C-alpha cells in the first residue's frame, strides 16, 4: 500500500493542513462508528489471550483413544510431545517449558493472520486508529503506510500464504488420522465432525486469500489463453468475496476445535461416538 499525503492531526499536516477546512471536532459523524473497531479489538484480544494460554499449558492437547490432536499443537515434533501425537516424528529433543510445543506452526499461523489484508484493515482501524473510521480524524501526526518498518513486513504475506498451505495439509492429515476407534480400527465421533469442519473452513480461508487469487490468475494478459487458470481464478474470486467472514469463522472454529479436544482429553466430557 502506498503512503498518501499525510493525514495526521499534527501541526500543519493532514486534516490540520492549511488547505483543509477548520473543524475542531474529531468527527462530525453521529452514528456509532466506534462499535465496529471496538468489537474487532475485543474479538482479536480474546483470541490472542486464549491461544497464548493454550500454547503454553502443554496439557490436554491429544486424545490417545481417538487420535484427536488440537491444531494449536500440530505438528508436534519434539520429545516433549506425548507418545502418539508426533505424527511426523521427533525432530527435536526435550523443549524447555517456555517454548510452546507447537512452536513450529504458531509463528506462521500468527504471521499469516497478522499480515492478512482483511486483518490489516481491521486492526489498523481498531488498534492503530489509522484512521479509526471513515471521516474520523486519526491521532497520528504522520501517515507512512506500509513503507517502513515495522509495517513494511506486511509485504511478506504472499510467503506466509505458501506456509499456510503446508499447515492446512498437516491439519488435513491430522483430521484424517483422527478417524480412529478405541480398538485401533476405524472410528467416528463428534470430534471428527469438529476437526474435519475446522479443516474445511481453514482451507476455505486459505484459498480465499488475496495472494492465492494472484497466484492463480495474476499477471495473465489473456484469460482466453489460460482457460484452466482462469476457471480456478474465478472460483477463488468467489471465495475471496467471503474472506472477512471466513477470517472470523476460522478464528472461532480454531478455538472451538481446541476447546473440544481439551475437554475430551482432560476427561471433562466424553466424545460422542457414532462408530466404535
Binding residue for ligand FES, selected from 7, 74, 211, 253, defined by CB under 6 A: 211
CB of 227 to ligand FES, least distance (A): 25
User: What angle do the packed helices 106-115 and 157-177 form, to 10 degrees?
Assistant: 130
Q: Which of residues 230-259 bind ligand FES (CB under 6 A)?
A: 243
| Calpha distance 176→273 (Å, rounded) | 16
For ligand FES, the closer CB: 192 or 206:
206
Residue 25's Cβ-count burial label (10 Å; 0-12, 13-18, 19+) is exposed
Q: Output the nine-digit C-alpha cell for 205.
A: 480461508
What part of residues 130-169 is at the interface with ligand FES (CB under 6 A)?
157, 161
Interface with ligand FES (CB under 6 A), residue from 81, 105, 109, 209: 209
Contact between 210 and ligand FES by CB under 6 A: the answer reads yes
Nearer to ligand FES, 116 or 199 (CB): 116
* Residue 43 CB, nearest approach to ligand FES (Å): 16
CB of 155 to ligand FES, least distance (A): 12
Question: Binding string, 109-128, against ligand FES, x = CB under 6 A?
Answer: -------xxx----------
Only one of the segments 18-26, 90-98, 208-216, 249-257 lies at the binding site for ligand FES (rule: CB under 6 A); that segment is 208-216
Pick the stretch among 88-96, 203-211, 223-231, 260-268 that binds ligand FES (CB under 6 A): 203-211
- CB closer to ligand FES out of 66 and 118: 118
Binding site for ligand FES (CB under 6 A): 116-118, 157, 161, 209-211, 243
Amino acid at each position: 500500500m502506498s503512503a498518501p499525503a499525510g493525514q495526521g492531526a499534527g501541526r500543519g499536516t493532514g486534516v490540520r493542513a492549511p488547505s483543509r477546512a477548520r473543524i475542531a471536532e474529531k468527527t462530525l459523524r453521529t452514528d456509532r462508528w466506534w462499535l465496529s473497531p471496538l468489537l474487532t479489538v475485543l474479538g482479536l484480544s480474546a483470541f490472542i489471550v486464549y491461544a497464548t494460554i493454550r500454547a503454553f499449558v502443554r496439557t490436554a492437547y491429544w486424545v490417545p483413544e481417538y487420535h484427536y490432536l488440537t491444531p494449536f499443537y500440530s505438528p508436534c515434533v519434539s520429545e516433549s510431545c506425548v507418545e502418539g501425537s508426533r505424527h511426523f516424528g521427533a525432530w527435536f529433543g526435550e523443549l524447555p517449558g517456555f517454548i510452546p510445543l507447537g512452536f513450529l506452526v504458531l509463528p506462521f499461523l500468527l504471521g499469516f493472520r497478522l499480515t492478512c489484508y482483511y486483518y490489516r484493515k481491521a486492526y489498523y482501524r481498531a488498534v492503530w486508529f489509522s484512521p479509526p473510521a471513515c471521516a474520523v480524524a486519526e491521532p497520528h501526526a504522520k501517515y507512512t503506510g506500509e513503507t517502513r518498518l515495522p509495517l513494511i513486513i506486511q509485504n511478506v504475506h504472499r510467503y506466509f500464504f505458501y506456509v499456510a498451505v503446508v499447515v492446512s495439509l498437516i491439519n488435513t492429515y491430522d483430521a484424517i488420522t483422527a478417524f480412529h476407534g478405541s480398538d485401533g480400527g476405524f472410528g467416528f465421533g463428534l470430534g471428527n465432525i469438529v476437526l474435519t469442519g475446522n479443516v474445511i473452513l481453514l482451507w476455505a480461508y486459505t484459498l480465499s486469500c488475496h495472494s492465492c487469487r494472484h497466484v492463480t490468475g495474476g499477471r495473465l494478459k489473456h484469460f482466453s489463453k489460460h482457460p484452466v487458470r482462469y476457471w480456478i481464478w474465478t472460483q477463488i474470486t468467489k471465495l475471496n468475496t467471503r474472506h472477512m467472514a471466513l477470517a472470523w469463522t476460522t478464528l472461532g472454529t480454531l478455538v472451538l476445535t481446541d476447546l473440544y479436544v481439551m475437554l475430551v482429553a482432560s476427561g471433562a466430557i466424553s466424545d460422542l461416538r457414532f462408530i466404535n
